[in-house]
Chain A
Amino acid sequence: MKKNPIVSLDHVSFQYEGHEQYALNNVTFDIYEGEWLAIVGHNGSGKSTMAKLLNGLQFPQQGEITVCGIPLNETSIWDIRRRIGMVFQNPDNQFVGTTVEDDVAFGLENYGVPREEMVQRVQDSLHKVKMDQLLHQEPHHLSGGQKQRVAIAGVMALRPSIIILDEATSMLDPRGRAEVLDSIRTLKSEKSLTVISITHDLEEAAKADRIIVMNKGKVFQEGTPDVIFAMDEQLIQLGLDIPFSVKMAKALGKQGIKLSKYYLSEEELVTELWTYRSHM
């Protein structure tokens, strides 16, 4: 598969006013079209700053960011924001409408989408996140997971090429988290959407195509989940964790069970154990 960079960061640095340290320090990497990229790091590692820069909420002091071939600057930003949708952490801070359908329509109204098309797009995107039964619900009747799915629908209705989830599941209960991730997975399978998920949930990152680990404003490591989870204890030192299946595999290793590779998903691990047993 040929990889086309859809977002490029070229020696990007950013420093908040009044802070001595750089929030991002000379960061260079590409994000490819159609991939699911997880950016992980502990609180304060620079990952949320990255989200703000990608959407032009802040501008880098040094370096350049290119989105869909367009250099990001103050004149191109409106164009770029049409291509990048963003879902934030707090479900309550991003619900602007008085009902579910109003909330999704808000962005479309801002862009002057004709009414008929708007109705269609609101329906479609709410259907995809399984919220089309609740069109007239008011936000206070919704769970956190439902609100986040409405936020995702609102973003998707604008048909962006890229969606950024900035810790979009971290305030949800396990059920809400699963609902939101399922919605994202459905959307991704249907079209060539690029997903950038900024998270400290390693179980969530495990499902991505590629992971970037941030530490102290720099890219610490980059690779597939296999590569990243092989970092093992280093991840814990970075304030992160290792996924359950890796912990389980390690504990089994101590009991003398040899597995084919370091990182296996839970399903893969179960299958290997099954094979292991039938060969005994």
Chain B
Amino acid sequence: MDISLSHVEYRYQAKTPFERIAIQDVSIDIPSGTYMALIGHTGSGKSTVLQHLNALLQPTKGIVKIGDREIKSRQKNKSLKPVRQKVGIVFQFPEHQLFEETVEKDIIFGPMNFGVSEEEARKRARLALKHVGLGEEILTKSPFDLSGGQMRRVAIAGVLAMEPEVIVLDEPTAGLDPRGRKEIMDMFYSLHKERGLSTILVTHSMEDAARYADQIVIMQQGMVIKKGTPEEIFSDPIDLMKMGLDVPEVVRFQLMLEEKIGTHLGQIYLSIEELSMAVASLVSGGVRS
């Protein structure tokens, strides 16, 4: 399912003394099957963009297209349920939203809310648990007896059980340890590939953006200031740093080394392996191709 935002503006508390523009003139295309990373500092407007992706917010200007639905300002939006079923959002710290008595009830709540039969929902719950790396024995437990990492996975399973076509992830690994972080990111990536999902990752991690995304959108002060492939985005790291943004560790290291040695490697490398080859050839005096 394709999603696009064209010239979208959103004002919080419009026409009141507290009016504040959160985003303006935001245009983003997310064709079906894209893995897009949305990057920006706290307060850059990325959470506001995120909430437009399944019509939780209605733009105050511009058009949001979600599949064949158009969401515009000043129009009544009836029956948004199908949209919300197709676009699943994993909010930040999703474990804070767990509420049911058992893990199973919590996971099947979403799909049943969208009219899936209980039997089917239970089947999906088991499958979703498998995806997030938890065993079925957990189904009867109270979500509040689980560890933080397990709670996070159960909350994610609840979104997966709705079988969305588009999945929006808001800092899905915040607070997890390195292993948990890698497992969750790899899981989303393989789901993305296997099911041909569109994935939108809202993140602070330039590492994750460079590793997983095929498109990166950078936001600052409510506007899109850069978009492109990871190669395009990171080809000018100095520019990013001037804007107060981070660059991946490997890029930062390359810059540090280039400054010390006083030579440029000719291009920006996004993986440790590639950079190590270029550096080895530089410091051992070899000729670079």
Interface residues of A (CB under 8 A from B): 42-44, 89, 143-144, 167, 170-171, 173-176, 200, 202, 236, 239-241, 244-245, 247-248, 251-252, 254-257, 266-267, 269-271, 273-274, 276-277, 280
State the CA gap A252–B250 with chains docked (Å). Answer: 13
Q: How far is the CB of A207 from chain B (nearest CB, A)?
A: 15
> Bound complex: CA of A247 vs CA of B175, how far in Å?
23
Taken together as a complex, chains A and B put the C-alpha atoms of A224 and B147 apart, in Å, by 30
Q: A174-B204, A277-B285 are known contacts. Are A143 and B276 too (CB-CB below 8 A)?
A: no
Instruction: Kindly list chain B residues whose C-beta atoms are within 8 Å of the C-beta of A176.
Output: 42
Q: Is the CB of B276 within 8 A of A271?
A: no
A266 to B285, CA, bound (A): 22
Q: Which residues of B contact A (CB under 8 A)?
A: 41-43, 147-149, 174-180, 204-205, 244, 246, 249-250, 253, 256-257, 260-261, 272-273, 275-277, 279-285
Q: What separation, in Å, do the CA atoms of A251 and B269 have in the docked complex?
A: 14
CA distance in complex: A275, B272 (Å) = 21
B175 and A171 contact, CB distance less than 8 A: yes
B250 to chain A, nearest CB (A): 8
Write the nearest CB–CB distance from B131 to chain A, whole angstroms. 19
A151 CB to nearest B CB, Å: 16
In the complex, chain A residues whose CB is within 8 Å of the CB of B246: 174-175
- Contact status B280-A42, CB under 8 Å: no
Out of B179, B205, B256, B273, name the residue touching A251 (CB < 8 Å).
B273
Cα A245 to Cα B253 with chains together (Å)? 9
Residue of B at shortest CB range from A170? B175
CB neighbours of B280 from chain A (8 A): 252, 255-257
Asked whether A273 and B284 contact (CB < 8 A) given A43-B177, A44-B149, the answer is no
Contact present for B284 and A200 (CB under 8 Å)? no
Question: Closest 6 interchain pairs by CB?
Answer: A255-B280, A251-B276, A239-B179, A241-B178, A200-B177, A277-B283
Are B276's CB and A252's CB within 8 A?
yes
Q: Can you add 16 more A-B contacts, CB < 8 Å, to A43-B147, A200-B178, A270-B253?
A: A43-B180, A44-B147, A171-B174, A174-B246, A236-B178, A240-B177, A247-B272, A248-B276, A252-B279, A256-B280, A257-B279, A270-B256, A273-B279, A274-B257, A274-B261, A280-B284
B261 and A277 contact, CB distance less than 8 A = yes
**Which partner residue on chain A sits nearest B149 by CB separation?**
A43
Q: Determine the distance from Cα of A269 to Cα of B42 in the docked complex, in whole angstroms.
A: 32
Least CB distance from B268 to A in Å reads 15
Q: Are A254 and B178 in contact (CB under 8 A)?
A: no
Answer whether A257 and B283 are a contact pair too, CB < 8 Å, given A171-B174, A270-B260. Answer: yes
**Chain A positions within 8 Å of B282 at CB level:** 277
Residue of A nearest to B92 (CB): A171
- Bound together, the chains give a CA A89 to CA B147 distance in angstroms of 15
